[in-house]
A and B are shown apart, each in its own frame.
Chain A
Amino acid sequence: MMSYVYDLMKTPFVLALIKIVILLVVAFTVIAYITLVERRLLGFFQSRLGPNRVGPLGLIQPIADGVKLFIKEDTVPIHSNSLLFRIAPIFTFFPSLVGFGVLTFALPWITPASKMHLFALADVDLGVLLVLSLSSLGIFGLMLGGYASGSKYPYFGGLRACSQMLSYEVPLTLSIITVVMMANSFRLSDIVTAQQTHRLYFFIPLIISFVIYLICMIAETNRTPFDLPEGESEIIGFHTEYSGMRFGFYYVGEYTNVVFLSMLAPALFLGGYDIPFVNDIALWQVYPQLISILGFCSYAIKSVLFAYFYIWVRATFPRYRYDQLLKIGWLVLLPISLVNLFIVAGIKLFLLK
């Protein structure tokens, strides 16, 4: 029996299934707890304590929030396009969840039983392109949600969200393209390997792309200072008509996006699962397990830094006006990122042969 299970474990399909389940569980836990971490940290930034009542240190708060959202009444407005209204929240939520599959979390853990890569689910060739297309798919959720609500306020909210995300998608893509050019590959693990072999994280040569990425990733996920689509208390956003768990899906989708983009950023700019100041690949040939675990930890720490940056920015800056937002997108970020792209391309073509 045991050997049968063991054999079954070795088949790629079952292994992939197991990895999917683990990834989903971990991702959901992280997404649930980043809401808590954010609220507590925001409290700290404002000299408050944040939610600490439910359970020790408020650790059960996310579950309480989830239960609250589930038992709320779920209304569908009469004038809404009910099919689109129902599927729209899923559009924001699932694309970014799929994105997690593309990431590689550590160097391969070489087991005697199977030479499978334990820390990557689907390290596809065009990983970066897949990520970008998935993040554009996320726009549909906002747009459809606003359109299907059958009310003009969410409609305009949806339009606003859509135009914001479209205009920030462009500089984001252009800044990621420079990374791709430096690494000569669209595969995310290759990008990390390039940084490991050069012993140079890309955020040093590509500092402009890095800054643009930081700004655009905040704008992409609709968070302060670019949170015009939602505007938690002041602006009527695209999800005004939503209630209960459908609203919860939008909420979770935003945090999924936050977690995903802050996990993508280290892979692109901070060397991913590379351990700083150590020659990883040489050491990995000697102690594969140790280095892959340590690499995973360093990846986690780097992602946490980015997630912290999100919250930090949210606690610090006031919201931009809508025209300012579009101006920053089209008149500042786009030209800078275009020029940056050409400079990097030129350097790559003529200097780094």
Chain B
Amino acid sequence: MQLLNKFLKMITFPDLLKGLKITTKYVSKKKITEKYPEEKRSYPYRYRGRIHVTIDTCISCRLCEKACPEGCLKVFPPPREIMKTDKRPAQFYFSQEHCLHCGMCVDSCPTGSIHHSHEFEITVFNTKELLFDKEKLPYDMLKKQYKWNLVENVPTKVEVKKKEEV
């Protein structure tokens, strides 16, 4: 009987068939690969993408500038007279070129104006495009996600522009 069993095992290749069975299962299984440009997956809540700054809540305290280990933030406070009423920075530079996405600036900001976004497609053809100033800075994409962010009632960029025009 044992001999017969052995013989049967020899001629039917049970181990090989088992392997074939396992691989067959994988053909119809869900694929792990993402079709990246067409289908974007959702990123974790605390994903560290490019730094975004909400200029309207910034109080020009320059804490982020001091905290940044790479020195890629540069805040220019407004003149004193204006500072009394409007603390928004006169100019704000952020250089993506050196940013480590370390999050020091985010931690140091007292108003939560500077924060990570989920934006990760940050490659460009020209390194000059990596320097962001006040106008170019990506504005406040995550304001609803950051609960400590005090921007719920802050006007959007378009509204601010309209105000300035008036």
User: Which of A's residues lie within 8 Å of B, judged by CB?
Assistant: 41, 43-49, 52, 312-313, 315-317
Is B20 within 8 A of A47, CB to CB? no
A47-B23 Cα distance, complex, nearest whole Å: 10
Is A48 within 8 A of B32, CB to CB? yes
Is A316 within 8 A of B31, CB to CB? no
Given known contacts A44-B27, A45-B26, A316 and B35 CB-to-CB distance under 8 angstroms: no
CB of B44 within 8 Å of the partner chain: no
CB of B24 within 8 Å of the partner chain: yes
Question: A46 — which chain B residues lie within 8 A by C-beta?
Answer: 26
Is A49 within 8 A of B16, CB to CB? no
Is A45 within 8 A of B27, CB to CB? yes
A317-B19 Cα distance, complex, nearest whole Å: 8
Is A47 within 8 A of B32, CB to CB? yes
26 contacts between A and B (CB under 8 A): A41-B27, A43-B33, A44-B26, A44-B27, A44-B31, A45-B23, A45-B27, A46-B26, A47-B26, A47-B29, A47-B31, A47-B32, A47-B33, A48-B31, A48-B32, A48-B33, A49-B31, A49-B33, A52-B35, A312-B20, A312-B24, A313-B20, A316-B19, A316-B20, A316-B22, A317-B16
A46-B26 Cα distance, complex, nearest whole Å: 7
3 closest cross-chain pairs (CB), A and B: A49-B33, A316-B23, A316-B19
Counting residue pairs across A and B whose Cβ atoms lie within 8 Å, the total is 34
Is B33 within 8 A of A315, CB to CB? no
A312-B27 Cα distance, complex, nearest whole Å: 10
A46-B22 Cα distance, complex, nearest whole Å: 11
Question: A316 — which chain B residues lie within 8 A by C-beta?
Answer: 19-20, 22-23
User: How many residues on chain B are close to A (CB under 8 Å)?
Assistant: 14
Is A315 within 8 A of B23, CB to CB? yes
A46-B24 Cα distance, complex, nearest whole Å: 10
Question: B31 — which chain A residues lie within 8 A by C-beta?
Answer: 43-44, 47-49
A340-B165 Cα distance, complex, nearest whole Å: 95
Residue of A whose beta carbon sits closest to that of B20? A316
A98-B97 Cα distance, complex, nearest whole Å: 60
Question: A45 — which chain B residues lie within 8 A by C-beta?
Answer: 23, 26-27
Residue of B whose beta carbon sits closest to that of A41? B27
Question: B27 — which chain A residues lie within 8 A by C-beta?
Answer: 41, 44-45
From B30, B33, B35, name the one whose CB has the most chain A CB atoms within 10 angstroms: B33
A316-B33 Cα distance, complex, nearest whole Å: 20
A222-B22 Cα distance, complex, nearest whole Å: 24
Question: A44 — which chain B residues lie within 8 A by C-beta?
Answer: 26-27, 31
Question: B22 — which chain A residues lie within 8 A by C-beta?
Answer: 316
A291-B29 Cα distance, complex, nearest whole Å: 37
Residue of A whose beta carbon sits closest to that of B25? A45
Question: B23 — which chain A residues lie within 8 A by C-beta?
Answer: 45, 312, 315-316
Question: A43 — which chain B residues lie within 8 A by C-beta?
Answer: 31, 33
**Closest CB in chain B relative to A55 CB, distance in Å:** 14
A49-B34 Cα distance, complex, nearest whole Å: 8
Question: 12 other contacts beyond A45-B26, A312-B23, with CB at 8 A cut-off?
Answer: A41-B27, A44-B27, A45-B23, A45-B27, A47-B31, A48-B31, A48-B33, A49-B35, A312-B20, A312-B24, A316-B22, A316-B23
**Closest CB in chain A relative to B40 CB, distance in Å:** 16
Question: A312 — which chain B residues lie within 8 A by C-beta?
Answer: 20, 23-24
A48-B31 Cα distance, complex, nearest whole Å: 5
A233-B134 Cα distance, complex, nearest whole Å: 52
**Closest CB in chain B relative to A341 CB, distance in Å:** 17
Residue of B whose beta carbon sits closest to that of A48? B33
- B 105-148 contacts with A by CB, 8 A: none
**Closest CB in chain A relative to B22 CB, distance in Å:** 8
A49-B26 Cα distance, complex, nearest whole Å: 12
Question: A48 — which chain B residues lie within 8 A by C-beta?
Answer: 31-33
Question: B33 — which chain A residues lie within 8 A by C-beta?
Answer: 43, 47-49
From B19, B23, B33, name the one whose CB has the most chain A CB atoms within 10 angstroms: B23
A45-B19 Cα distance, complex, nearest whole Å: 12
